[in-house]
Amino acid sequence: MKHIFTLSLILSGLSLTAGNNPTHPTDNSDKIIQLSKTSDKIILDGVLDENIWKGTGKNTDFWMKFPTNESLADPKTEVQVTYDDTYLYFGVRVTESSDGLLVQSLKRDLGLRVADGIGIVLDPVNLKTNGFYFAVTPYNSQTEGLIGNSNDEVTITWDNTWYSETKKYDGYWTAEIAIPFSILRYEQSKRVWGINFIRSARSENEFHTWTNMPLQFRGTDLGYLGQMMWDNDPPSGGSSVSINPYFLAGINSDAATLVSTDGTINAGVDAKIAVSSSINLDLTVNPDFSNVDVDEQVTNLSRFSIFFPERRVFFLENDDLFSGFGIPPVRPFYSRRIGSKDGQSVPILFGARLTGNLNKKLRFGVMNIQTGRKGESAADNFTTLTFNQQVLDRSVIKGYFTNRTAFQNETEKSNDRFGTFGRNGGLELSYSSKSGVVQAWSGGHFSLKPDISGNNIFSNLGAGYFGQNFVTFTDFTHAGRNYYADVGFVNRISNYDAKRDTVIRVGFNFAFNETEYTWYFKDGVLNRFSLGTENFLAYDENFKFNELNQTSSASWEFKNTSQIEIGYNINRVNLLFPFTFVDDVNAEPLPAKMYNFNNGTLEVSTDSRKNFVASAGITYGKFYNADYLQMNADINVRNQPYFLMSMSFEYNDLKFPAPYGNQKFWLIAPKMEVNFANNLFWTTFVQWNSQADNFNVNSRIQWRYRPMSDMFLVFSDNYFTDVAFVNKNRAIVLKVNYWLNI
């Protein structure tokens, strides 16, 4: 196994001999906004004709952020800021150098990676731990999000009410933006906020930021903000209460329950209450998530479960306080466990969440959710407590406790004592140097279940160097076989034995390393070239070898946004229990033994800015003892920004030697989006997944008839993918919600 870290060591040597490797930007101490209150009435029409915009200081001199960060940006961007008792205002003038603007869609939460536009990063607490993100395109499509403890990850599924208007001119466009103080969380006595602006010149494949930032960090990184200095204490924002009731009517049929047609009428309400300027209370009664986007299905060729992101709005505000614990394979809190049991939806009766800042360095979260009984599944109560305490400049000590309690009757308790409750807790330390280049993390967690003791600990320790050219990090993780997370996501512990048709729990220890070196180019057709390696080494809890995965890759990113990536994967797996990857009932499971297999990959993509965009990939080689071929492709045809037709395709061909069977998996997913205006959208998504034996159609019309108030008409249809193409279930739902500010 000498080759495991060979490429990592080579790249480490390159980092020491590469010469100039700038990891720190120039000093941003000159990036200061002296904020003053306006007495003008600002009419939000996108036209900068109010007197305040003629006299307020213009913040210009943006830096190039990508593809290089060594010079000031051109063309010019100007941002002005002012406020009154209710809103924080921004006036923006963006000069364009290209003939046309690039905005691929009018949909909300489009973001700036696929569109020209301007983004605003706010850190009202000014501690570089969490913040807000607002962005608008020249067509006035909005994106808002929360920035969590990772300092750059933005949760754009967070929604709230703010206002903007834009105006397009010959050679430039303007925007006026009004952000209510009531949706921000801050201490009123805090007169210095962190702030930054992001200019997406996607038509030129450039990003600009007001402050000078390292290439390796996102523009939303909170470690490189300028300062906004208030002339007085910020306004309180007033007493803020938002109520969002909904009404739903639908018709559905379910072949599994033999219900041919069933009508549904339902109603519920969500509420947001500003307990103070820095603490928010969220309430929900009988929430419904029928309007939420369906998950994009995937083909799963691993032996373990797949992690799908949360999409339900109630769970997303200050989501990092709850979901930011652990590492991707082990998350002790995973909100999708709430309202779901054994793959079936469970009604949520009510819930409450209190989050915010107790003081300038301490954030907290308290959440309680009550679900109802469904069929033979008992009702559950979920409680989660969390805190984040800032230490040093950009480091955090954080802790949590989760509890799930089942409301079982006496018979259920005697039959399933193990399911009576599940509890987890833990502490973590996340360290970041002031520049963010050096980071480290550690954590210790426990779980409690009835009649279980010992081997119930999960822990991890890691560190990394995140330079502009050289990036490397390593993580060591341990999980005992009795570590359960009833409200979490835990991979690798549950192992399926196909011979005995049972699940066996096995604890694990693993080490993961990722290393990459990147060269950047000013001239020529290339933006950057990267060499990298990923190494994963797993043992069981007794340190008996289980698995080795090593991937070596090279990638080229061109100035026209097209990309090429090649990779080679080395795998060694000690299969602990018989397992099958095919659906053939006559095939034998693969025997438990050592497997060595390798394969290679190639991925290519065309210019993502065009109206026709394509990407394709191929993997060829071995998979355990099978001959393996995987092909995938994505094709997008647009009429920007009004229409998109896309087709995703994935094909997996597994040819095992006799008697282990053969398998072909197909995943085909066409999608159509029609954007009639900024407030009227029609999306139809079709997915055929042969592995899941499911053909799904989901068609949704959304009309935002006023800010944060929507009407949805949703049609969904599911079929088995056998020859008969039998219908599983079908539903059509009309949902109307209304956002009311009190």
Cis peptide before 67 (omega within 30 of 0): yes
Q: Name beta bridge partners: 714.
A: 700, 733
171 inside domain: yes
**Cα(608)–Cα(50) distance, integer angstroms:** 38
Residues 537 and 594 both lie in one domain: yes
For residue 27, what pLDDT is reported? Answer: 65
pLDDT tens across 405-433, in order?
999 888 888 788 888 999 999 999 999 99
pLDDT tens across 20-66, in order?
444 445 567 789 999 999 988 999 999 999 999 987 788 889 999 98
Question: Final residue of a domain: which of 619, 641, 667?
Answer: 667
Residue 600 has pLDDT above 60, yes or no: yes
Which amino acid appears at position 352 of this protein? A
What DSSP character marks residue 580?
-
Per the prediction, the chain carries an average pLDDT of 88
Residues 155 and 44 both lie in one domain: yes
Q: 3-state SS of 530-572?
A: EEEEEEEEEEECCCCEEEEEEEEEEEEEECCCCEEEEEEEEEE
Residues 22 and 132 both lie in one domain: no
Q: 3-state SS of 371-413?
A: ECCECCECEEEEEEEEEEEEECCCEEEEEEEEEEEEECCHHHH
For residue 19, what pLDDT is reported? Answer: 36
Give just the sign of the alpha carbon dihedral 572, 575, 578, 582: negative
The residue segments making up the domain with residue 89 are 31-230
Residues 22 and 44 both lie in one domain: no
Measure CA of the first residue to CA of the last residue in the chain; give whole Å.
Answer: 65
- CATH number of residue 109's parent domain: 2.60.40.1190
**Cα(196)–Cα(32) distance, integer angstroms:** 10
**Which range among 274-278, 565-569, 628-632 shows the weakest confidence by mean pLDDT?**
274-278
709 inside domain: no
Residues 50 and 70 both lie in one domain: yes
Please report which helix (H) or strand (E) contains residue 14, including its range.
helix 6-17
672 inside domain: no
Question: Final residue of a domain: which of 651, 667, 683?
Answer: 667
% of the chain with per-residue pLDDT over 70: 94
pLDDT tens across 253-300, in order?
877 555 567 788 999 999 988 887 778 899 999 988 877 777 777 888
For residue 340, what pLDDT is reported? Answer: 83
For residue 17, what pLDDT is reported? Answer: 37
Residue 726 has pLDDT above 90, yes or no: no
169 inside domain: yes
Please tell me the total count of domains within the chain.
Answer: 2
Residues 159 and 22 both lie in one domain: no
Residue 10 has pLDDT above 60, yes or no: no
Contacts of 553 (CB under 8 A, 6+ apart): 530, 531, 532, 533, 534, 565, 566, 567, 568
For residue 8, what pLDDT is reported? Answer: 43
Residues 114 and 220 both lie in one domain: yes
- Asked whether 184 and 83 are in contact (CB, 8 A), the reply is no
647 inside domain: yes
Residues 158 and 216 both lie in one domain: yes
pLDDT tens across 56-98, in order?
788 889 999 988 888 898 889 999 999 999 999 999 999 987 6
Residues 7 and 73 both lie in one domain: no
Question: Final residue of a domain: which of 230, 247, 264?
Answer: 230
**Which range among 95-99, 654-658, 730-734 shows the weakest confidence by mean pLDDT?**
95-99
Residue 15 has pLDDT above 70, yes or no: no
pLDDT tens across 114-128, in order?
889 999 999 998 888
Residues 93 and 196 both lie in one domain: yes
Residues 125 and 23 both lie in one domain: no
For residue 531, what pLDDT is reported? Answer: 98
For residue 258, what pLDDT is reported? Answer: 53
- Asked whether 443 and 424 are in contact (CB, 8 A), the reply is no
557 inside domain: yes
Residue 401 has pLDDT above 60, yes or no: yes
Residues 508 and 595 both lie in one domain: yes
- Mean pLDDT for 656-680 is 94
Residue 13 has pLDDT above 80, yes or no: no
Residue 141 has pLDDT above 50, yes or no: yes
Q: Name beta bridge partners: 461.
A: 442, 476
Reported as a pLDDT band with limits 50, 70 and 90, residue 710 is very high
676 inside domain: no
Residue 641 has pLDDT above 80, yes or no: yes
Residue 2 has pLDDT above 70, yes or no: no
Q: How do beta strands 32-35 and 226-230 pair?
A: parallel
540 inside domain: yes
**What's the pTM?**
0.84
